[in-house]
Structure 1
Amino acid sequence: MASDNFMQIHDPELLARGERVLGAEFKAMHERVLQVSALTSRLNAVPFDDEAAKASLLVEILGRPLPAGLTIYPPFYTDHGLNLDLAERVFINQGCTFLDYAGIRLGRGVMVGPKATFITMGHPVDPEERRRFLTGAPIDVADNVWIGAGAMILPGVSIGRDAVIAAGAVVADDVPASSLVSGSKATVRRSW
């Protein structure tokens, strides 16, 4: 059972302001990850046409009834599940990963291509701090967004209504409504 402090740290708004997850909070998070990993393993082994079994496991993973018109094609991966807020008519293709501890919201009619990844948590860059705590920020995807195959959405990103994220794009900054973003560019930012 989570402590009150865990619930405060767990709040996506606090994480967005740079709060850290550590100690007892990390232990509670780790326990949920183990539980959800077992559930997603079962989900990913269910025959594709067994809709009732898939729906039952998704309800356990998400901790709430499924929205109308939700489609998720396994394999499907999440590390927490309870902070994955899916609206009506969301479509998630095969092999997608949702690391949702800090919160992920997908608006109505969002389409997610195969192998897309959403990451809300990370480690500090400083090597002395890297193993001591986690930081994170929520991801918010507005209605009618299309996220292409293999796209990666990073912590704290908001994607505006009707936007398109091209296949393979790495999205580290907010995306305006009704726009197309593409590409990835790894550049040296600093050295130590």
Structure 2
Amino acid sequence: MPLPQLINAGPVSWTGPLTEQVDAIVAETSSQLMSFNQTSAESERRSRLTHLLSTPLPSSSVINPPFQTDFGRHTVIGQDVFINRDCFFVDLGGIYIEDHVLIGPRTMLISVGHNEDPAHRRDLILKSVRIKPGAWLGANVTVNPGVTIGENAIVGAGAVVTRDVPANTVVAGVPAKILRPIRQN
């Protein structure tokens, strides 16, 4: 079961029964991921993903193993999405991948940060990641909490995205910077 009160919740004190609820889901997710990543049967992988994600993976979308997520229940994936190998999603704060998105290998989508104050460092800051329709994230991209990748945007391989990416632009680098608008034939 998802914990909708945590999606894009901002600062969250990491104490009490909430930690136990999250830890129980994380343990179940880990078990499902082991099965997902170790089977070659597509039907079995899709069955495992049904238990991992908050909504069923559309039949037109693909997640190639190995795949990792820490929570799983706060990831929503649209139609015709392709997620390549070795991706890692930290989704407690919410990850929304809209239609026709391409995600390269070893990409990390991170929706959880921590408080800067050492006395509260274990507390969480939960900010959703949004990938808009038609976006393409190259290999080994990292998208930080609270970032939206705009429609049809391209994020170059190895980029670390710390701010929103406008629609129809190409970004690259660490931190990612706008290089140019998308070229269209």
Return the TM-score normalized by structure 2: 0.88
2:12 is equivalent to residue 22 of structure 1: no
Q: Which amino acid aligns with 1:143?
A: P
2:141 equivalent in structure 1: 151
Q: 2:143·2:161 contact (CA, 8 Å) conserved in 1?
A: yes
1:38–1:105 Cα change, 3 Å: same
Q: 1:21·1:135 contact (CA, 8 Å) conserved in 2?
A: no
Q: 2:75·2:94 contact (CA, 8 Å) conserved in 1?
A: yes
1:170–1:155 Cα change, 3 Å: same
Q: Deviations over 1:133-172 (max 9, x none)?
A: 1111001110000001000001000111000011110001
Alignment counterpart, residue 140 of structure 1, candidates 118, 125, 130: 130
Alignment counterpart, residue 182 of structure 1, candidates 172, 177, 180: 172
2:151 equivalent in structure 1: 161
2:30 is equivalent to residue 37 of structure 1: yes
Q: Report matched runs for 1:102-141 at 5 Å.
A: 102-131=93-122, 133-141=123-131
Q: Distance in 2 between matches of 1:51 and 1:68?
A: 11
Alignment counterpart, residue 80 of structure 2, candidates 73, 83, 89: 89
2:60 equivalent in structure 1: 69
Q: Which amino acid aligns with 2:34?
A: S
Q: Deviations over 1:117-147 (max 9, x none)?
A: 011112212212113x111100111000000
Return the TM-score normalized by structure 1: 0.85
Q: 2:7·2:92 contact (CA, 8 Å) conserved in 1?
A: no
Q: 2:54·2:76 contact (CA, 8 Å) conserved in 1?
A: no
Aligned length: 175
Q: Secondary structure in 2 aligned to 1:181?
A: strand
Return the offset for 1:179: 0.6
Q: Secondary structure in 1 aligned to 2:18?
A: helix
Q: Deviations over 1:62-104 (max 9, x none)?
A: 1432213111110001111111010000000000001111100
Return the offset for 1:11: 3.6
Q: 1:62·1:83 contact (CA, 8 Å) conserved in 2?
A: yes
2:180 equivalent in structure 1: none
2:91 is equivalent to residue 100 of structure 1: yes
Which structure has more strand as a fraction of its residues?
Answer: 2
2:161 equivalent in structure 1: 171
What stretches of structure 1 of length at least 5 have no aligned partner?
186-192
Q: Distance in 2 between matches of 1:156 and 1:21?
A: 19
Return the offset for 1:7: 4.9
Return the offset for 1:28: 1.1
Return the offset for 1:34: 1.0
Give me the identity figure in percent: 34
